[in-house]
Structures are given as C-alpha cells and as structure tokens.
Amino acid sequence: MFKVDIILKGRVQGVGFRYYAKQIADEMKVSGKVWNNYDGSVEVVGYLESKKDIDEFVEKIKIGPQMSSVKESTVTITPSDPPMDEVFEIAN
C-alpha cells in the first residue's frame, strides 16, 4: 500500500476541485481526503495499491474540473499502512 500526496497550484480553488477529486477517488475506489490550503493550493491524499493505480489517479487528478487550470503539481509517494477508513472525504 502506498500513500500519494498531491499538491496542485494554479486556478484550483473556487472551481469545484475538491468535488472533482472526490468523484475521481470514488470511481477508482481510493480512500483519503482533499482540502484547500491557505496558500491557494489544493492538496489530495490517496491510498493506492500499485504504481499503475497511482499513475492513473495522479493523471486524472491533474486534469481537474472544467474551470480549473493546474499550473504546477508536486507528487510525493511513500509506503504506508492501509488507512483506517475506506472512504474519501472532503475536508474544510
């Protein structure tokens, strides 16, 4: 199991990005959460089983909803225990 942490910068707040991320996570059965950061970025944390799943999740997240524009993204992948909850939630 791996934890992927994605920080997205650009026009990512106020455009439905957190709801978009939840939709992608629910479709892919990914647990984790998404939230807005104070610096205007959006952060997504997901727990996935394989490198292939991570790559697919990251690419879909980077697309963003129609009104968004991702200018920069940082992806950090670390080994992890499975999450306590099997859900993907929108925080703040």
3-state secondary structure labels for all residues of 5-72: EEEEEEECCCCCHHHHHHHHHHHHCCEEEEEECCCCCEEEEEEECCHHHHHHHHHHHHHCCCCCEEEE
Give catalytic residues, as residue numbers: 18, 36
pLDDT for res 85: 82
pLDDT for res 51: 92
pTM score, whole prediction: 0.94
Overall average pLDDT of the 59-77 stretch: 96
pLDDT for res 84: 81
Q: Give the pLDDT confidence of 13-62 residue by residue, as tens digits.
A: 999 999 999 999 999 999 999 999 999 999 999 999 999 999 999 999 99
pLDDT for res 78: 96
